[in-house]
Chains A and B, each alone.
Chain A
Amino acid sequence: MSTTSIPDPSTRYRRTAQRGINSEMLSWLFMRASGMLLVILVFGHLFVNLWLGEGVKGIDFAFVGGKWASPFWQVWDLLMLWLGLLHGGNGVRTIINDYARGDRLRMILKGLLYFAVIVTIILGTLVIFTFDPCPVGAEPSLLPSFCEG
């Protein structure tokens, strides 16, 4: 192998590798599209949970139960869950590709990453759709007010 040659920085950048539609281009596009949606979703989430009412002090089981009683917030949180983990997972994939130089290490790190992303997406999705705001036998004072009666 000859030594790596670094091109003169003043030469004009030339596109040499992949052209047209390919997975890395779609990944680049996805980061921008999901990023714009996430700005809206996450800002709304922070505004409702940390700004309104008592902020972080107001968050408890009854608060979550009240929110997820509405399909609006179920869909909101579901979108945030999927887009956030795919956007974040893809970002970490890029970081691993940049810094993990050995093939084996890169494989292991990406394996762990994909495992964590898939498990978290499945867990979160199940929680949103199987959540019961009024579990039988629970202490009534901890439940949302609509559970009474």
Chain B
Amino acid sequence: MASAQSGTLYRGREGMWSWVAHRISGMLIFLFLLVHVLDTALVRVSPEAYNEVIGHYKTVVFGLGEVGLVGAILFHALNGLRLILVDFWSQGPQRQRSMFWGVVIVWVVLMAGFLPRHLMHMFGA
């Protein structure tokens, strides 16, 4: 039974905060996507122009930004799959909370795989 203490599916606790994080990560990814299509479009200008602009992605500041971007994408993707299960799987609504923690665990595992590899690429180890 829903109550102010336990919250409902979309109010309070994991249900609501995953929804908030889904919106924020989605907005962020969309804005990056617009910029990313524009920077890729520079291949039509000249190899020099493209290499010049894409070179910024290899700097330390952008490299750390890429960690945030990949983190946002992974969360949005995993939580999106959880949402699909909430909507289409008969057990989904009852299990949404444990599925949220499943999302967190898979996210941590994937980030733990990506982060060292990305830092090695960036700092040339």
Contacts and interface: CB of A to CB of B under 8 A. Distances in A.
A85 B66 contact: no
Given A88-B30, A95-B23, A116-B34, A39 B41 contact: no
A98 B40 CA distance: 32
A interface, size bucket:
35 or more
Interface in A74-110: 81, 84-85, 88-89, 91-92, 95
Contacts of A50: 66, 70, 114, 118, 121
Interface string A96-137: 000000000000000000001000100110110011000100
Q: Interface majority SS on A: helix, strand, loop or mixed?
A: helix
B84 A88 contact: no
A38 B30 CA distance: 13
Given A32-B87, A35-B80, A64 B50 contact: yes
A51 B114 contact: yes
A124 B36 CA distance: 10
Interface of B: 1-2, 8, 23, 26-27, 29-30, 33-34, 37-38, 40-41, 43-44, 46-48, 50-51, 54, 57-58, 63, 66, 70, 73, 77, 80-81, 83-84, 87-88, 114, 117-118, 120-122, 124
Contact of B27 (A58, A65, A95): A95
The list of the 3 closest CB pairs from A to B, nearest first, reads: A55-B121, A88-B30, A61-B47
A60 B50 contact: yes
Given A32-B84, A56-B121, A59-B57, A81 B23 contact: no
A46 B63 contact: no
Contacts of A92: 26-27, 30
Given A60-B54, A88-B26, A131 B43 contact: yes
Contacts of B122: 55-57
Given A43-B77, A81-B37, A135-B46, A56 B58 contact: yes
18 contacts: A35-B80, A36-B81, A39-B77, A39-B80, A55-B121, A56-B63, A57-B58, A57-B122, A59-B54, A60-B47, A60-B50, A85-B33, A85-B37, A92-B27, A124-B40, A124-B41, A127-B43, A138-B47
Contacts of A57: 58, 121-122, 124
Contacts of B117: 51, 55
Nearest to B124: A57
A139 interface: yes
A8 to B, nearest CB: 11
Nearest to B11: A9
